[in-house]
Structure 1
Amino acid sequence: MDLVNSLFSVSSAIEAVVVISMICAAGLALGKVRFFGISLGVAFVFFFGIMFGSFGITIDHNMLLCLEDFGLALFVYTLGLHVGPNFFGSFRQEGMSLNLWSLAVIVLGTIMAVVMTFFTGIKLPDMIGVLCGATTNTPALGAAQTALEHIGIGGGRAALATAVTYPLGVLGVIIAMVFIRRFFVSKDDLRPRLTGETDNTFIGQYLIVNPALEGKTIASVAHDTHAHFIISRLWRAGEVILPMADTILHINDSLLVVTNKDDEGAMLMLFGKEMDKDWNKAKIDWNHIDSNVESRVIVLTKAQLNGKKLGGLRLRDTYGVNVSRVIRGDIKLLATDDLVLQYGDRLTIVGRPGDIDNAENFLGNSVKTLNEPNVGSIFLGMVLGLILGSIPIALPGMTSPIRLGLAGGPIIMGIIVGALGPRMHFISYTTRSASLMLRRLGLALYLACLGLDAGSGFIDTVLRPEGLLWIGVGFLLTVVPVTIIGVIALKTKKFDFGTICGILCGSMANPMALSYANDSIKGDAASVSYATVYPLGMFIRVIIAQLLVMFLV
């Protein structure tokens, strides 16, 4: 018994590990329990931490801050790493629109906060703290405190207001998403609509009836059209031919063509006639189409090939094989010559069995190697992200520089490494299971420490004269903007519900609500849209906090 008591009474690293581990274990276990059909998932760790803290259980403050910051940095960096490969594609397609909806949530909440100072009697410095807590944005609080101290007003009450409104700020976004899903979401709204997350390719069989193609090589035809395509098989007079760049096309040749979905119409115009056969079904035995040509998926595991362009490997000329598609995560990409390959890419290769064997030896195809997560690159990326987050950014008219902070720097660096790492020959590949575990581990550590810290003075703060008023106002500032903008965005029918949840969570800088969205909605739509809007949203909130102090206090 004395040994057990010492684990909680003697301040030590062991005590910190025991307490945080107990909070995470209990919170994650109870997070699986459904209350009225709703499960909070990993977010329950936060509330379990508050309960521990309210009972007077504490750990060394420096240890608490260390674990909390490490957990947050680990979570946001691995989240950025996870969505990085899809980020710029989704940003080009929907990114501007996503950020505008996020900005709408931010602006509406800010206007509400300013207006409510006149009706509630809450002073603006305190209201800024309430707003930071309602939006779970501690970097904005830090910026506001700096600005308040600059004009001779202490930031202690703002921090107190943030602490008391933070818990319901976490829960409020989840409540709003549950409300929207219960009363406004249809089955069609639950289906992903962002094209960046699915199959980007189309496979079709075409018969050449266009006389302009007679006698031309495949290379010349590809050069003369703006559309990208790969011819993986060619049938001529009942004989299968493996097409090469110098293969000459003739009328009545039948081609199996892989192209982008958007170029399906262009292929019909180019070749003349599309055969009535669906080659895009989930299960097709490609190796039973003909006996002379085989289709095989080979994994790129040669580190020296990471970041190389597919065309630069000269697989067609050297080994006599064609690469039709590249599978990266859950995305199928057209195998164009300018496609930059990444470690772990799965290449669909078509050719004769012996030629494919030679190509396989060149590319690696060591699946066992992929089972070993590249942990060293994750720590290096986190270091770079923390350095990025600490760089001061001076803006005209601002009394103090802006920093991306502990959350902003790592998530941006994660996105950059995930998207552009191969171009810099930086291997960032991590298995899906390892990536998910690291994200869950980081988030659980962060929430446990955050809840434990908030719970230590939670009851005393609530019992203050302003406490209940701050909580009520903060809850409105959380729920009302998220619900209004979420319903309006849903009614446009442009985004699926998962994408909208990511927008709402990202605009409120709320990783706990994102975790709930990921647990309750299939696919990665919420994570992709969250990462798309989070950096800009967090940056704008930091600026708004300082602007409110500068012009209205």
Structure 2
Amino acid sequence: MQWLNELLFGTGVGHSILLVAVTIALGIWLGKVKIFGVSLGVTFVLFVGIILGHFGMHLNHDVQHFFKEFGLILFVYSVGMQVGPGFFSSLRKGGLMLNMLAVGVVSLGVVTSIVLHFVTGLPMSTMVGILSGAVTNTPGLGAAEQTLHDLTGASDPTITLGYAVAYPLGVVGIITSMLIIRAIFRINMDREKEVLDHLEQEDETQAMALSLVVKNPAVFSKTLGEVHQLLKKHDYVISRTMDSRTNNISPAHSDTVLHEDDRIFVITNPQNAPMIINFIGTEVQMDRKQWIPNETNLISRRFIVTKSELNGRKLGSLQLRKLHGMNVTRVNRAGVEMVASASLPLQVGDRITVVGSEVGMQKVEELIGNSVKRLNEPNLIAIFVGIGLGILLGSIPIILPGIPQPVKLGLAGGPLVVAILLSRFGYRYKLVTYTTPSANLMLREVGIAIFLACVGIGAGDGFVDTIVNKGGFTWVGYGILITLLPLLIIGFTARKGCKVNFLTLMGLMAGSMTDPPALAYATNTGNHDSSAVGYATVYPLTMFLRVLTAQLLILFFCS
């Protein structure tokens, strides 16, 4: 039975892998248990690892180091791939204000940590761990550990201990701050929903359909191509036309001639709609079904772009209207409906709405792929090219004034930045970065579970001693301050000064802490998509800043 003893209590690779597997399995199972409606999810793997480490279970040092770093890389890279497409767009328009408020939450948390460091004399490495736990940000923990190791050549277990002590009440503190803001302003949830529903009807970016009657003499006897030259600065697509003399409906072509009282079916957005209506004539109310009468062979279908060679190509270059008489009216990307302008670059995974004949539909399908099976195949080249570039970027020393040691993005920051950039701009270099949501989630959860298991087992040795003999209970108090103060200050400012809708504000508060359990609470409480939208709007920038500030605190105070 020597082999079994070695497997269970030895130091070999097999023992290490088995221990990690058991830790992850137990942690995820126990993490499903809800306490007051909140569960810790995969984060409970950390606490199972701490318990096993406390009772003498250890990992092979080399295996632990590799697993921890590789798990962290998988996690942050998949997070970057998820948030990247919306990272830059989230900085525009209303998203700019939400992101500035989230930056305020991050900044106040860092300032609070620095003040506590000087007041209490607690080492900054420990304080960064408490900060990461208080804001429930695991990548920040990983970035701090890796930066400290690069800087000093040694590890500090109190980083992980501080994180583990502060994390549970960090989740509770985020939800508590939402309840406090709601009570202070006496929020009526139904009223907040009504306001949001009204604003959604005035959205300036979503695609909308118009039925117009040609009344402007300036466009009489002009072709659609000539009309387009006059309106080319505006985003719109003319899908179908109805001849006023015969009432026949036809797909729109550039050589289609407009006559008085002809009707046209237009896809545009609210921002451009008034100009187009005034230029063409008047708007008329028509059901969409009236534009596809039963006696014609005009049909509408939605296809998925799955051919990698189309990645990055502009929609107009396909010449679907000229070659096949087909009109693309909308492009749905990650749930967002966009006007199908000729200059729009396609990406693998886009869903396009096409209007035309049955024969033409077959041609379109052949051209763009429309193969869900192909879409489900993982694009491993993009993943590993991105990870390689991320490690390269993270290893480049950056010299900043006032910092004695060069700054590095590290194994956490480098892959995160590259993933954001590739997911947004990779199509320009013919790199297919699309992954299905389930594949991305699998990659992310495997990475974070491995990382937390290794971190927990490594920190388990001194956890109880820290709590009992080294002031661990006071760390909980510090974590509560770091959680509550920034959220309450910014939450009050957002509601009172910026008039942010409370449902959106809950998403902002959860996103500024990168905390999925808090988002789940906000979504269930508000029963509206706006909380998720607010979360997604601030999450990318917040995640980046959490990783960066954790590293900067280590570099400034631990050199």
Answer whether contact 1:131 1:162 (CA < 8 A) is retained.
Answer: no
Answer whether contact 2:328 2:355 (CA < 8 A) is retained.
Answer: yes
Change (3 A) 1:422 1:114: closer
- One-letter amino acid of the structure 2 residue matched with residue 200 of structure 1: Q
Change (3 A) 1:244 1:526: same
Q: Which residue pairs with 2:526 in the alignment?
A: none
2:366 to 361, 365, 376: 361
Q: Secondary structure at the match of 2:425?
A: helix
Change (3 A) 1:20 1:262: farther
1:170 to 151, 167, 171: 167
In the TM superposition, 1:260-409 aligns within 5 A as 260-277=269-286, 291-409=296-414
What residue ranges of structure 1 are gaps of 5+ in the alignment? 507-512
Q: Secondary structure at the match of 2:271?
A: helix
Change (3 A) 1:524 1:47: farther
Partner Cα separation in structure 2 for residue 448 and residue 229 of structure 1: 52
Change (3 A) 1:123 1:51: closer
Answer whether contact 1:517 1:526 (CA < 8 A) is retained.
Answer: yes
- One-letter amino acid of the structure 1 residue matched with residue 330 of structure 2: R
Q: Which residue pairs with 1:454 in the alignment?
A: 459
| Residue 106 (structure 1) shift | 3.2
| Residue 209 (structure 1) shift | 2.0
1:235 to 242, 245, 248: 242
Q: Which residue pairs with 1:504 in the alignment?
A: 512
| Residue 351 (structure 1) shift | 1.0
Change (3 A) 1:110 1:302: closer
Change (3 A) 1:540 1:270: farther
Partner Cα separation in structure 2 for residue 364 and residue 89 of structure 1: 28
2:437 to 432, 439, 456: 432
Partner Cα separation in structure 1 for residue 123 and residue 432 of structure 2: 51
Partner Cα separation in structure 2 for residue 413 and residue 189 of structure 1: 38
- One-letter amino acid of the structure 1 residue matched with residue 542 of structure 2: V
Partner Cα separation in structure 2 for residue 530 and residue 484 of structure 1: 19
Q: Which residue pairs with 2:31 in the alignment?
A: 31
Answer whether contact 2:160 2:459 (CA < 8 A) is retained.
Answer: yes
Partner Cα separation in structure 2 for residue 126 and residue 421 of structure 1: 38
Which segment drifts farther, 296-305 or 479-488? 479-488
Q: Secondary structure at the match of 2:18?
A: helix
Q: Which residue pairs with 2:224 in the alignment?
A: 218
Which segment drifts farther, 37-46 or 178-187? 178-187
Q: Which residue pairs with 1:517 in the alignment?
A: 519
Q: Which residue pairs with 2:76 in the alignment?
A: 76
Change (3 A) 1:285 1:297: farther
- One-letter amino acid of the structure 1 residue matched with residue 512 of structure 2: L
Q: Which residue pairs with 1:510 in the alignment?
A: none
Change (3 A) 1:465 1:167: closer
Q: Which residue pairs with 2:268 in the alignment?
A: 259
Change (3 A) 1:412 1:57: same
| Residue 32 (structure 1) shift | 2.1
Q: Secondary structure at the match of 1:262?
A: coil
- One-letter amino acid of the structure 1 residue matched with residue 226 of structure 2: S
Which segment drifts farther, 165-174 or 307-316? 165-174
Partner Cα separation in structure 2 for residue 188 and residue 413 of structure 1: 42
Change (3 A) 1:145 1:73: closer
Q: Secondary structure at the match of 1:255?
A: strand
| Residue 231 (structure 1) shift | 0.9
Partner Cα separation in structure 2 for residue 184 and residue 105 of structure 1: 15
Answer whether contact 2:174 2:510 (CA < 8 A) is retained.
Answer: no
Partner Cα separation in structure 2 for residue 334 and residue 47 of structure 1: 48
Change (3 A) 1:143 1:70: closer
Change (3 A) 1:303 1:142: closer
Which segment drifts farther, 467-476 or 403-412? 467-476
Partner Cα separation in structure 2 for residue 288 and residue 368 of structure 1: 33
In the TM superposition, 1:64-213 aligns within 5 A as 64-94=64-94, 96-116=96-116, 119-120=119-120, 122=122, 131=131, 134=134, 137-138=140-141, 139-140=143-144, 159=156, 161-184=158-181, 186=189, 200-213=206-219
| Residue 33 (structure 1) shift | 2.2
Q: Which residue pairs with 1:509 in the alignment?
A: none
Partner Cα separation in structure 1 for residue 473 and residue 444 of structure 2: 34
* Cα root mean square deviation, aligned: 3.3
Q: Secondary structure at the match of 1:273?
A: strand
Percent identity, aligned pairs only, is: 34
Partner Cα separation in structure 1 for residue 291 and residue 282 of structure 2: 22
Matched, 1:51 2:51: yes
Q: Secondary structure at the match of 2:93?
A: helix
Change (3 A) 1:177 1:472: closer
- One-letter amino acid of the structure 2 residue matched with residue 517 of structure 1: L
Which segment drifts farther, 445-454 or 96-105? 96-105
| Residue 267 (structure 1) shift | 2.9
Partner Cα separation in structure 2 for residue 121 and residue 299 of structure 1: 58
Change (3 A) 1:354 1:440: same
- One-letter amino acid of the structure 2 residue matched with residue 489 of structure 1: A
Partner Cα separation in structure 2 for residue 356 and residue 431 of structure 1: 25
- One-letter amino acid of the structure 2 residue matched with residue 333 of structure 1: M
Partner Cα separation in structure 1 for residue 118 and residue 517 of structure 2: 36
In the TM superposition, 1:404-415 aligns within 5 A as 404-415=409-420
Partner Cα separation in structure 2 for residue 439 and residue 46 of structure 1: 16
- In the TM superposition, what whole-angstrom CA distance separates every residue of 1:473-526 from its partner, at most 9, and x where no partner exists? 2442234323433454355315714641454225xxxxxx34663687465653
Partner Cα separation in structure 2 for residue 544 and residue 15 of structure 1: 36
- One-letter amino acid of the structure 1 residue matched with residue 25 of structure 2: A
- One-letter amino acid of the structure 2 residue matched with residue 256 of structure 1: F
Answer whether contact 2:20 2:454 (CA < 8 A) is retained.
Answer: yes
Change (3 A) 1:285 1:52: farther
- In the TM superposition, what whole-angstrom CA distance separates every residue of 1:363-418 from its partner, at most 9, and x where no partner exists? 22222211222233212211211211121111223211111122211121111111
Change (3 A) 1:216 1:540: farther
Answer whether contact 1:73 1:410 (CA < 8 A) is retained.
Answer: yes
Q: Secondary structure at the match of 2:403?
A: coil
Partner Cα separation in structure 2 for residue 261 and residue 404 of structure 1: 42
Partner Cα separation in structure 2 for residue 106 and residue 194 of structure 1: 29
How many pairs are equivalent? 532
Answer whether contact 2:80 2:540 (CA < 8 A) is retained.
Answer: yes
Which segment drifts farther, 393-402 or 335-344? 393-402
Q: Secondary structure at the match of 2:447?
A: helix
Partner Cα separation in structure 2 for residue 285 and residue 345 of structure 1: 27
- One-letter amino acid of the structure 2 residue matched with residue 175 of structure 1: V
Partner Cα separation in structure 1 for residue 119 and residue 470 of structure 2: 17
Answer whether contact 1:130 1:161 (CA < 8 A) is retained.
Answer: no
Q: Secondary structure at the match of 1:463?
A: helix
Partner Cα separation in structure 1 for residue 483 and residue 111 of structure 2: 13
- One-letter amino acid of the structure 1 residue matched with residue 82 of structure 2: H
Which segment drifts farther, 172-181 or 22-31? 172-181
| Residue 49 (structure 1) shift | 2.1
